[in-house]
Amino acid sequence: MSNAAISTPNKKKWFELCFKTGAFAVGGGGRILIYQEFLVDDHGWMLLEEFREAVTVTQVAPGPPFVNLATYLGFKLTNVWATIVGLCLLGIPGPLVGLFIMHFVNLNSRGMTWLFQGFSLGSILIFAIFAWNMATGLTSTENKKISVAKKKLIFRASVAALVGGASLLGLPFMMALIGGSIAGLCVEFLS
């Protein structure tokens, strides 16, 4: 993971990333890693820590999480118009492909079922890689005034485990978000 130099973002490349993700990233779940790879590792437009920060901030905002992230990054790296064009390139190809599939493709054929199962598996794998990257981000603060004592790390990991477990047991998203946030605030401000 190269966190070295920050280079100047380029609008054409930004559009390329949005279109590539909008038109080819099938399977759901793993698109965030495509963005991280492009922005942090390949082009060095931002640091990994900044990317993690953007993910955290946008996932708690209302609206589709990935669209939120793409919008936030668009504002951060380009300008309002490039953000809007990027979102069009990201959001329009998918439904067009969907309408094409609805009219012309037999999704019940064995070959198609296998192909989409494979895409889903691939997508789960890259989502898992990104989730691991986020989990390792629990150990960082990028600020010397905030301690990362072992006790605090254990508390952070416990909050993550509790929220994940509660969500799997059927606790609604909002409840998990609010409850987890209160616990997280206690860990950061009181421990």
Partner 1 sequence: MMLSLEIFLFFFKIAIISFGGTVAILSEMERMLVNEHHWITHEQFIQTFVVAQFVPGPNTAMSPMIGYMVNGWSGFFAAFLGTFSAPIILLGLLYWAYKRYSQLLWVRRLELSLRPVIVGLMMASLFRLWWAQSNPGFQSVIFRTTAFAIGFLAIWLYNKKLIKSLDLIFFMGAAWVYVNWGILTVVR
Using the minimum distance from each CB to partner 1, give the nearer residue, 47 or 162: 162
Question: What is the Cα–Cα distance from 3 to 6, expressed in whole angstroms?
Answer: 8
- List binders of partner 1 among 125-144 (CB under 8 A): 125-131, 134-135, 137-138, 141-143
Q: How many CA atoms lie within 13 A of 188 on its CB side?
A: 12
Q: Which pair of tokens denotes residue 61? A: 């905002």
Q: Considering only CA atoms, which of 156, 128, 134, 125 is closest in space to residue 69?
A: 134
Residue 97 touches partner 1, criterion: CB under 8 A: yes
Whether the CA torsion 131, 72, 162, 30 is positive or negative: it is: negative
Binding mask 37-76 for partner 1 (x = CB under 8 A): x--------------xx-xxxxxxxxxxxxxx-xxx--xx
Binding mask 77-96 for partner 1 (x = CB under 8 A): ---x--xx--xx-xxxxxx-
Q: In the bound complex, what is the minimum distance in angstroms from residue 37's beta carbon to partner 1?
A: 6
- List binders of partner 1 among 5-24 (CB under 8 A): 20-24
